[in-house]
Amino acid sequence: MRAYVLKHYGGPDGAQLIDVPVPTPGPRDVRVDVRAAGLNPVDFKFRQGKLRAILRPTLPLVLGNELAGDVVAIGSDVKRFRIGDTVFARVAKDRAGAFAEQACVDEDDAARIPRGLDFATAAAVPLAGLTALQALRDELGVEPGQKVLISGGAGGVGTFAIQIAKWLGAHVTTTASARGEALVRALGCDAVIDYTAQDLSKVDDRFDAGLDLVGGDTLAQMVDVMKPGSRIVSVAALPEPQTAIKDLGGSRVLAALFWIISYGIRSRARRAGIGYRFLFMHSSGRDLGLLGDLIEQGKLRVIVDKTYPFAQIAEALAYVESGRAKGKVVVAMH
């Protein structure tokens, strides 16, 4: 089968579309005939070797973290799926393998594709949708009437986050350039701050919860506009000790490393009287099922910016790497 394989860390030439053996499902796995796979910044960050402190798989490795397709084989202990089911999934982070004609997924990481959703659109949901849901519902505990600030609302995660925050009953403000403003407003955003024209730290509003999808100076500016006692969750800045303990298996070495690298932002947040947490999202077939229900009920729209044929996956990844995508980028296998 064809697969997009990482042979060495670094630039785009480290990954190639080549033939590899079809994977064999373990007892709890379903094997999926992949019809489409979603792309995410983690794919190029992984290729660049930026996640080596956390994930150290043996290379070569088939890249890709989310997929949609048909179940074509099941392991001996699989209970929830049968051959012929259509599923979507965020593949476990230490496994990857979605950029391939066939891929294996633990059944707990998969859910049935919502009725009426095509494969390319379904493949765009898992990683970004779960990130937005887990950050807003579980980490920030967003409640009706709260004012939520989301940085980077026009991208893959942001387009889900705006809608999920609205579904949770919040008043939502996001940062976007003129290129993304119409899109974020169409998704229900109440207020938009043009980050190319306005300094976020100078806005008059104060917020109950912050979701940072950009990091760097944007996160620093967000700290200045939060209410005392509120909290920012970032998925794009620097991990802190809780990330190691809650999201990455509790390694003390990683917790110590993250304590050091996050010292600046944690101190800044503490001085402002707010909390800071970096979240690594996790695979969850159950949460994905909830997102599927919201899609089926018309409460959640999936924004796909571009769909490329699988043969052009390098171009698709370069587009994601440009940082300009509006919504999600997908490759279609067949």
One-letter identity of residue 227:
K
Q: Which stretch binds ligand NAP (CB under 6 A): 20-28, 210-218, 222-230, 252-260?
A: 210-218
Q: Is 324 in the site for ligand NAP (CB under 6 A)?
A: yes
CB of 260 to ligand NAP, least distance (A): 19
60 upstream amide cis, omega within 30 of 0: yes
Separation CA 121–CA 116 (nearest Å): 10
Cβ atoms of residues 78 and 28 within 8 Å: yes
Residue 177 binding ligand NAP, by CB under 6 A: yes
Q: Which helix (H) or strand (E) holds 216?
A: helix 216-223
**139 three-state secondary structure:** helix
Counting residues that bind ligand NAP (by CB under 6 A) gives 33
Q: Given candidates 32, 288, 317, 320, which one binds ligand NAP under the rule CB under 6 A?
A: 320
The span of 71-79, 96-104, 225-233, 324-332 binding ligand NAP (CB under 6 A) equals 324-332
Question: Which residue is listed with tokens 């066939």?
Answer: 102
The Cα diameter of the chain in Å comes to 59
CA atoms within 13 A on the CB side of 309: 3
Give the residue, chosen from 3, 30, 42, 89, that forms a contact with ligand NAP under the rule CB under 6 A. Answer: 42
Q: Say how many C-beta atoms besides its own lie within 10 A of residue 21's C-beta.
A: 8
Q: How far is the CB of 244 from ligand NAP (least distance, A)?
A: 13
Told to check if 165 binds ligand NAP by CB under 6 A, we report no
Query: Which residue, 40 or 307, is less far from ligand NAP as judged by CB?
Result: 40
* CB of residue 253 to ligand NAP, shortest distance in Å: 19
CA-to-CA dists, residue 210 to 45, 158, 205, 279, angstroms: 24, 12, 12, 13
Cα–Cα distance for residue pair 309/332, rounded to 1 Å: 5
- DSSP state at residue 100: B
Applying the rule CB under 6 A, the residues between 261 and 290 that interact with ligand NAP are 279-281
Does residue 39 touch ligand NAP according to CB under 6 A?
no
User: Is 214 a residue that touches ligand NAP (CB under 6 A)?
Assistant: yes
Give, as one character, the DSSP assignment of residue 131. Answer: H
User: Which one of residues 86, 102, 121, 151 is an interface residue with ligand NAP (CB under 6 A)?
Assistant: 151
Q: Taking CB under 6 A as the criterion, which residues in 5-24 touch ligand NAP?
A: none
Q: Decide: is 156 part of the binding site for ligand NAP (CB under 6 A).
A: yes
Sign of CA dihedral 179, 185, 187, 190: positive
Half-sphere exposure of 320 (CA within 13 A, CB side): 26
Judged by CB under 6 A, the stretch of 107-115, 212-220, 256-264, 267-275 that binds ligand NAP is 212-220
Task: Please tell me whether residue 176 binds ligand NAP under the rule CB under 6 A.
Answer: yes
Subset of residues 108 to 147 that bind ligand NAP, contact rule: CB under 6 A? 127-128, 131
Residues 95, 42: contact at Cβ < 8 Å?
no
Residues in contact with ligand NAP by CB under 6 A are: 40-42, 45, 127-128, 131, 151-152, 154-158, 175-177, 179-180, 195, 213-214, 218, 235-236, 279-281, 320, 323-326
